[in-house]
Structure 1
C-alpha cells in the first residue's frame, strides 16, 4: 500500500505534534468570531469594534512574558490572524518569536442540514484549498475545523468523537502544521440520524483530504489514515 507522506515529512509532523502537545502546555483557543466577541463585550459595556477587539487580543497574547511556558499553540480567527500590536508587529509573528505555534480556524460556521430534524453541518469546504494556502504563506502552522451537531435536549450522552479536539489530525496546512477538528454528537430521540452521521464523516474526510493536497504535511493523533 502506497504511503501518502514521505518519511521526512512524517518526521517533521511528528516533531510539530510533539511541540504542540508538550507536557504541561496546551492550546489557547482565541478564535472567537466577531459575533461571539459582541456577547462578551456587551456584558462589560465595551463597544464591539475592530480596535477594541485588537486591544483585547493584544492584552491576551502579549500581556504576559510567561505565556510560552504554558501555551504551545494559539488558534486565531481570521480577523485576529492579521491584526498587529501597537508597534505594528503581527500577533502571529510575536507568538512565533516566542516559540508558540500560530494556527487558524478555517470553517465558516454551522448551517442547517437539509432533510434532517434540526441537525447541522459545517460550511467552508468550497474554497478551503485557496484559503489554506494563503494562511500558510502568511505564517499559520495549524488549522482548526469545527464539526458540531446539536441533538435532542432530552439526552446528554455523547459519542466518543467529542474528544477529537485533543487527538485529531495534525496538519501542516493553511497556517498549519496540525489540524484540529471536533465532532460532538448527542444521542436521543432517534438522533443522530444516519444522514447526519454520513454528512459529518464526509465533511471531516474532505477537510482532511483538502489539507493534505495543499500542504502534504500533517499527522493524526486518532490513528486515522487516508491511504
Structure 2
C-alpha cells in the first residue's frame, strides 16, 4: 500500500517528540569534531552517529525522525546494520538533506541562493529506495538594515517550492526551511526587524508553494524563531514566543500539519525555553516541535570526546537533552529540570 504524505508528516509530528538534525556536511561535522580534538573520518563520523542512533530511550521516547546526510543514509553501523534500519527500529522516520548548500548569489552582495535542484528528481528516487521518507532543503535569508532584498527572498522561495514539489512526486515529505539568520552580518538587528523579515519571507514562500501546487497537508515547515540578532540579544523568552507566534499566525495556513523549529545559533537552553513558552502559552492551529542539531548534540559530543569508553556518557547526555526538548514540545519544560539532571 502506498504511504500517504499526510501520514508520514503526522508521524514526524508525534506529540512530545521531535526531529534530530544529524545532517551536518562532512566539513561541518569536521568543525564540530575539532572542538573535541577528534579527526573527522568515515569511521569517526559513523561511530558518533551510531552512538546517537543507538541511544534507545532518547530515540524511542523523544525522537520522531532523523535528518541524515547522504553519507549517513547509506552507511552501516560497526556491526553492519544499516543506520536506516536502526532508526526505523526505534520508531523514528529516516529523512535526508538534499540541498547542496547556500552559495553567493550573483548580483546580490551579501546574499545567497541554495543549490541542488539539478538531478534532484533522480536522487530522490534513490533516497526513497534507501528508506528516506522525508527531506530537507534550507534557504538562507540574511538580515541587516538593507537586507534581504526581494530578489533573493523570491529566488530562495522558488527553489524551496520546486524542491517541495519534486519531493511530493517522489513520495517524500518536504521540510521547507527558510532560515532568517540571527548570527549573520552585522548580526545586531532588533527583534522587530527579525519579525518584519520573517513575515515577509514566509508570505513569499507560501505564495511560491501555492504556485508550485505543493500540498500543504503533506509538508512540514522548519522556520527560525523570531529573535534578535546575536550581537543585540535583549528579548526575553516571553517576547520571542509572542513575536514568533504572531508572525506564524499571520502567514502559515492551518492546513500545514506541523512546524518544527530550527535552533539557529541559540544556546541549548534558549532553544528549549523558547519552544516550551510558545506551546504552553498559545492556542495554535498546528502541531509544534523541534528540529535541532547543535541544540540536541552539543552535550553528547562533549561527553563522548571520541572515546569508546565514553559512549554511555554521551548517550546519557543525548537522552537528557532529548527529554528536555520533548518536554518543551509539550509546553512542560522548566529550568529547574535542567538542574535536577
Give the TM-score normalised by the residue count of structure 2: 0.50
SS in 1 for 2:170: helix
Residues 127-206 of structure 1 aligned to structure 2 (within 5 Å):
127-152=119-144, 188-189=145-146, 191-206=147-162
Q: Aligned residue for 1:88?
A: 80
Q: Tell me, yes or no, if the aligned pair for 2:12 and 2:19 is still in contact at 8 Å.
A: yes
Q: Aligned residue for 1:214?
A: 170
Q: Distance in 2 between matches of 1:205 and 1:123?
A: 13
Q: Tell me, yes or no, if the aligned pair for 2:5 and 2:168 is still in contact at 8 Å.
A: no
| 1:102 corresponds to which of 80, 94, 99 | 94
SS in 1 for 2:135: strand
| 2:45 corresponds to which of 31, 38, 53 | 53
1:20 aligns with 2:12: yes
- C-alpha distance after superposition, 1:12-64 (max 9, x if no partner): 22222221111110000011111111111111111111101100011111133
Q: Tell me, yes or no, if the aligned pair for 2:139 and 2:157 is still in contact at 8 Å.
A: no
- C-alpha distance after superposition, 1:154-205 (max 9, x if no partner): xxxxxxxxxxxxxxxxxxxxxxxxxxxxxxxxxx22x211211221221112
1:42 aligns with 2:34: yes
Q: Tell me, yes or no, if the aligned pair for 2:33 and 2:39 is still in contact at 8 Å.
A: yes
Q: Tell me, yes or no, if the aligned pair for 1:106 and 1:145 is still in contact at 8 Å.
A: yes
RMSD: 2.2
Structure 2 residue runs without a partner (length 5+)? 174-214, 221-251, 256-341
Give the superposition deviation at 1:65.
4.1
Change (3 A) 1:80 1:216: closer
- C-alpha distance after superposition, 1:69-124 (max 9, x if no partner): 10000000011111111210111111112211000000000111111121001000
Q: Distance in 2 between matches of 1:15 and 1:88?
A: 30
- Please identify which structure carries the higher helix content: 2
1:64 aligns with 2:52: no
Q: Tell me, yes or no, if the aligned pair for 2:124 and 2:170 is still in contact at 8 Å.
A: yes
SS in 1 for 2:139: strand
Give the superposition deviation at 1:224.
9.1
Q: Distance in 1 between matches of 2:56 and 2:64?
A: 14
Q: Distance in 2 between matches of 1:33 and 1:112?
A: 18
SS in 2 for 1:28: strand
SS in 1 for 2:65: strand
How many residues of Structure 1 are paired with residues of Structure 2 in the alignment?
181
- Please identify which structure carries the higher strand content: 1
Q: Aligned residue for 1:178?
A: none
Structure 1 residue runs without a partner (length 5+)? 1-7, 153-187
Q: Aligned residue for 1:155?
A: none
Give the superposition deviation at 1:216.
7.6
Q: Tell me, yes or no, if the aligned pair for 1:119 and 1:151 is still in contact at 8 Å.
A: no
